[in-house]
Amino acid sequence: MMEGVVVRVSLIGLLLACVTTAPTNKNRDWDIYSFHINSTVTSRYATTIITSRVANRIDASQEIEFHVKIPKNAFISKFRMTIEGQTYDGVVKQKEEAQRQYTQAVSHGQSAGIVSSVGRTLEEFKTSVNVAALSKVTFELTYEELLKRRLGKYELLIHARPMQPVANFKIDVHISEQPGIKFLEIKGGLSTKQLANAITKTQTPTEAWVYFYPSKEQQTQCDGCGDQGLNGDLVIVYDVQRKNSIGELKESEGYFVHHFAPSDLSRIPKNVVFIIDRSGSMRGRKMEQTREALLKILGDLAEDDHFGLIIFDHFVSPWKNELLQANQRNLEAAKSFAREIKENGATDINAAVLKGTDMLNRHPREGSASLLILLTDGDPTSGVTNLEMIHKNVKEAINSKFPLYCLGFGMDVNFEFLEKMALENNGVGRRIYEDSDAALQLQGFYEEVATPLLTDVQMVYLGGSNLTQTNFSQYYDGSEIVVAGQITDNNRAEFTAEVIAISKSNKVKYSETTPSEEPIKASSDSNIQRLWAYLTVKQLLDKEVKSSGNEKEKVKKETLDLCLKYGFVTPLTSMVVTKPQGEDSQVAHKPKEGEKARESMLDTQASRAHASRVNTYSQVAHKPKEGAKSRGSMQVFSGSTAFSKQSKPDRTGRVQHSKIASDTVRIQSRESSISQHAGKVELSKTFSDAVRLLKVTGNAYPESSVELDELSGHSEYLLVPILQFLLPAEGPVRPLCYAIRSGLMVKLFRDPNNELSINGELSNVGWEGYQKIAIHYKSDQLIELNTTGVTFNNGQNAIYFSWSQNINHEKDSVSLLLLDEELEVTIGSTQVFIMLYKKDWLKFLWPILTQRPTGNNITGILARPPIAYEEVQGTTMKLKIDDQEVKVTKRAVVNYNVRSTPVVSCWYIPLEIALQGTPANFTVTQL
Ligand SMILES: *[C@@H]1O[C@H](CO)[C@@H](O)[C@H](O)[C@H]1NC(C)=O
Ligand SMILES: *[C@@H]1O[C@H](CO)[C@@H](O)[C@H](O)[C@H]1NC(C)=O
Ligand SMILES: *[C@@H]1O[C@H](CO)[C@@H](O)[C@H](O)[C@H]1NC(C)=O
Ligand SMILES: *[C@@H]1O[C@H](CO)[C@@H](O)[C@H](O)[C@H]1NC(C)=O
Ligand SMILES: *[C@@H]1O[C@H](CO)[C@@H](O)[C@H](O)[C@H]1NC(C)=O
Ligand SMILES: *[C@@H]1O[C@H](CO)[C@@H](O)[C@H](O)[C@H]1NC(C)=O
């Protein structure tokens, strides 16, 4: 191993000499000369088109990226690329079908047209295409959404971040609301002083136009904007007039929509029970923020409200056993109680919700509106923990008598469980993001339900069919009930709408007979028809969450048909984006709330070398569930191509590098054990046995040896150095070792049960170990290590520390202990230990799994259990592993598991045997 260092140094020289094109700042090489966002809102239904025109400014073809963020609530309905006069339209297909059709492609794909969520309100769409020298491309993305009224206003959010200053940048917004626009304001990070003169607002009673045309200079000057141009939101906030109580009824081409949001009603006193989780995981800031919000909320209760307060861990502790009136004295007492809430123990959600239900059930409800609000940050861990059982118990207990709202605090919650429980009980699930404004988010949610105006609302449409939801348990001030449907036989004369509900003092009834007509547009579907389809799909997706068995399948089928008909990318459909010949198609999936985009992409395998021989293949983009983080695009095995062109061995078997060529080098090639994969050759320079050159044109790894001369007829070789690793063997026997291509990204550890995965990027030639390691926990936590330091991103913010620091950081179930350049990461019952090694001027990371969780689907290189073997004596050395005879050679490998780095003699076995799988099993395309 000692000579190895010398050889390594020369190999670095080789590598550097061979890498011809260093990565350059791509943004400078292409020019977004026009970026246009056009948003049209009619009857609160917004259709937004983003058009980006880009020119390749260099005299060579290159990959050009389109990368935008859109509201999570929206459905993508169209994507189109135009290159050299040719258009490529995305086609919406059933998710599974798209997946199947493109599976092969996906398994080779290296970068996906990804839709992933990036924050509370936005998700990201990203794709790229190869554009010929000095040519242009136009990207066009359309998405649609129904604006939801919250706290008395609608918000149209437009995110603008073209990634560079753009000569022709425009945002055009046109809003048309027949009942009249009550007010309209422009907010968001882009609505600042510096940009004020770029914004124009024009308004008539029923229409508004907002134009945002910042100059190229302005695009670099605003807050948060810089060399990369604009980066921020434009938010159009508005509300509409409501002239009559029944609201606005509109129809077009056989479809109607009814917006109902009366405000001329007295508030109904409410009975509210707050159920607050104070389990150990709420410790610290979460608990503080909850207390802060609770104190504020208690302060906002009206005197004729009644309230209850339950805190729970593994015990359920109601403040008082009954609801009490929200008078001064009771509130003061409750506030003192709330100030004293301390975190402690496990989470018994079942008992807590049942207790709250019981309290509300025992309280008289006449003339009041009851509601339960649950706040938790974790899964049920105490009492009844079977999720289905909890759903069943809660549903039976509440029995549709009042709504249950479930607030999931942070990213550790099982949001699906909470959402389903809320939906089953006429409420909604809402995520509270762990951030500095969490108390405000809690208060904001409370405000939305603070003022009930009606209960038991029934919307009745005579002559209407295919209606969206018509029964609502409560209607709150500041919100809006929207119902859409078809007018049976398109017979407007027979159509009537009626609203029956209970207000504070009595039963109320509104009716209306003639809907106003939306002007017929040239487009094939009317706006109202699309609104109907959007709302129906949204509600069916919720219904699917709460149904099961045959019913679920039926709902799915119905949803799917609509999505396909209207071209919506939803959790059930995907958009296949076809690209020019020779390029990968892509598939964009809208993920379900909470689903992770990353996991499904991680396992896709990529090899550029292989890819270039496949004409069209695809990539899959998933829409992530709420909370999943975007990890950027996947990477390809980089550098290999440049390397291969320059470092072919010549006829004499010399590698074109004087340092190596001057050595007495015996170069061997080894043929693949799998004959149809012939051509995969390992060239190994054996004078120290420390450096191996391996040809990888496919994925099989070589076994037997031939002389180099036999190879000289070949024209192209990839010379790829490898790294060697030790493997534990069972018993007091010689350890095993294997070699793996340097620079690869590998799967170190994967525990799906605990949502924990660790990937590593192997060092390049000359180094040992890893250059980078990424630890992903749940959908949002990420610990990234490189040879400089460690970045811990807990989903909200990132902290960075260098290897020279000593750190003890503990939060929730994650603990990081950094001491003397050794980092111990403990996540639940898993522990990894990562050491920083410095050899000469080289630095690398070395991970060890020190504590293994239980579970039988744990995979990854670190998790590989010791291998049992028997030696088979003969002329060539063989081992018997798993009843298979394997030819082996003896080698020396450094054991970096211990700081003294002893050199250990080992049996060298093929990679497939060592890691029990094909490269696909242990490589990843993204850290
Ligand atoms: C914006 O989109 C609408 C609807 O597609 C279209 O009528 C209008 O002309 C577009 N505006 C601009 C400036 O392109
Ligand atoms: C509307 O309802 C009718 C039956 O009332 C049904 O036949 C039709 O398929 C429905 N249309 C859609 C688009 O769901
Ligand atoms: C709406 O509520 C009324 C009265 O409770 C009930 O008769 C009707 O079936 C409900 N409609 C739906 C679609 O659930
Ligand atoms: C892990 O394996 C068990 C059975 O071996 C299976 O039931 C479970 O679904 C697996 N978990 C995941 C997350 O794949
Ligand atoms: C390691 O990561 C930090 C933070 O992302 C970065 O500043 C630093 O340059 C990286 N170091 C190396 C060697 O990549
Ligand atoms: C390797 O991948 C194949 C195909 O995906 C799979 O069938 C096999 O079980 C995997 N092996 C291991 C050890 O994970």
pLDDT > 70? residue 210: yes
Q: Is 795 helix (H, G, I), strand (E, B) or coil?
A: coil
Q: Per mean pLDDT, which range of 143-152, 360-369, 488-497 is the poorest?
A: 488-497
Q: Per mean pLDDT, which range of 146-160, 384-398, 756-770 is the poorest?
A: 756-770
Distance, CA of 294 to chain centre: 31
Q: What are phi and psi of 846, to 5 degrees?
A: -140, 110
Which of 157, 155, 164 shows the shortest CA–CA distance to 54? 164
Distance of alpha carbon 772 from alpha carbon 844, whole angstroms: 8
Atom 9 of ligand 4: nearest residue by CA position: 753
Tell me how many degrees the CA angle 457-458-461 measures, rounded to the nearest 5: 145
List, as one string, the DSSP characters of 737-774: EEEEETT-EEEEEEEGGGTEEEEEEE--TT--SEEEEE
Distance 604 CA to ligand 4 centre (A): 20
Mean pLDDT of 245-268: 90
The residue assigned the tokens 């069916």 is 540
- CB 466 near ligand 2, within 6 Å: yes
Distance of alpha carbon 780 from alpha carbon 647, whole angstroms: 42
Distance of alpha carbon 888 from alpha carbon 785, whole angstroms: 35
Atom 5 of ligand 1: nearest residue by CA position: 40
Distance of alpha carbon 417 from alpha carbon 259, whole angstroms: 30
Domain boundaries, the chain: 5-240, 248-258+455-535, 270-450, 636-715, 725-922
The tens digit of pLDDT for each residue in 799-820 reads 899 998 888 888 878 899 888 8
Distance 526 CA to ligand 2 centre (A): 17
Sign of CA dihedral 325, 331, 335, 336: negative
Looking at this protein, which amino acid is placed at residue 726?
Answer: L
Largest Cα–Cα distance in the chain?
100
Q: Residue 19: its pLDDT value, please?
A: 31
Q: Per mean pLDDT, which range of 257-271, 664-678, 766-780 is the poorest?
A: 664-678
- CB 921 near ligand 6, within 6 Å: yes
Q: Is 178 helix (H, G, I), strand (E, B) or coil?
A: coil
The residue assigned the tokens 């008539």 is 204
Which of 846, 844, 862, 850 shows the shortest CA–CA distance to 825? 850
- CB 561 near ligand 2, within 6 Å: no
List, as one string, the DSSP characters of 233-266: EEEEEEEE---STT-EEEEETTEEEEEE----SP
Assess contact for 570 and 91: CB atoms under 8 A.
no
pLDDT > 80? residue 251: yes
**CB atoms closer than 10 angstroms to residue 689:** 18
Assess contact for 279 and 336: CB atoms under 8 A.
no
Q: Residue 841: its pLDDT value, please?
A: 67
Distance 489 CA to ligand 2 centre (A): 11
pLDDT > 70? residue 116: no
Distance 472 CA to ligand 3 centre (A): 9
Higher pLDDT: 17 or 476? It is 476
Q: What are phi and psi of 858, to 5 degrees?
A: -90, 125
Q: Is 844 helix (H, G, I), strand (E, B) or coil?
A: strand
The tens digit of pLDDT for each residue in 582-629 reads 666 667 776 555 544 332 222 222 222 222 222 222 233 334 344 333
Distance of alpha carbon 156 from alpha carbon 146, whole angstroms: 10
Helices (H), 425-467: 438-449
**270-450 — its CATH code?**
3.40.50.410
Query: How is residue 176 written in tokens?
Result: 């048309």
Distance of alpha carbon 764 from alpha carbon 13, whole angstroms: 12
- CB 516 near ligand 2, within 6 Å: no
DSSP letter (8 states) at residue 679: T
Highest mean pLDDT: which of 144-153, 346-355, 860-869, 900-909? 144-153
pLDDT > 90? residue 915: no
Q: Per mean pLDDT, which range of 113-122, 404-413, 861-870 is the poorest?
A: 113-122
Higher pLDDT: 542 or 645? It is 542
List, as one string, the DSSP characters of 170-210: EEEEEEE-TT-EEEEEEESTT-STTTGGGEEEEE-SSEEEE
Q: Which ligand is nearest to the CA of 473?
A: 3
DSSP letter (8 states) at residue 126: E
For the chain, the straight-line distance linking the first and the last C-alpha, in angstroms and rounded, comes to: 29
**CB atoms closer than 10 angstroms to residue 487:** 22
Which of 323, 385, 325, 388 shows the shortest CA–CA distance to 357? 323
Closest atom of ligand 6 relative to the 915 alpha carbon: 13
Mean pLDDT of the chain: 78
Distance of alpha carbon 665 from alpha carbon 36, whole angstroms: 60
**5-240 — its CATH code?**
2.60.40
Distance of alpha carbon 124 from alpha carbon 112, whole angstroms: 12
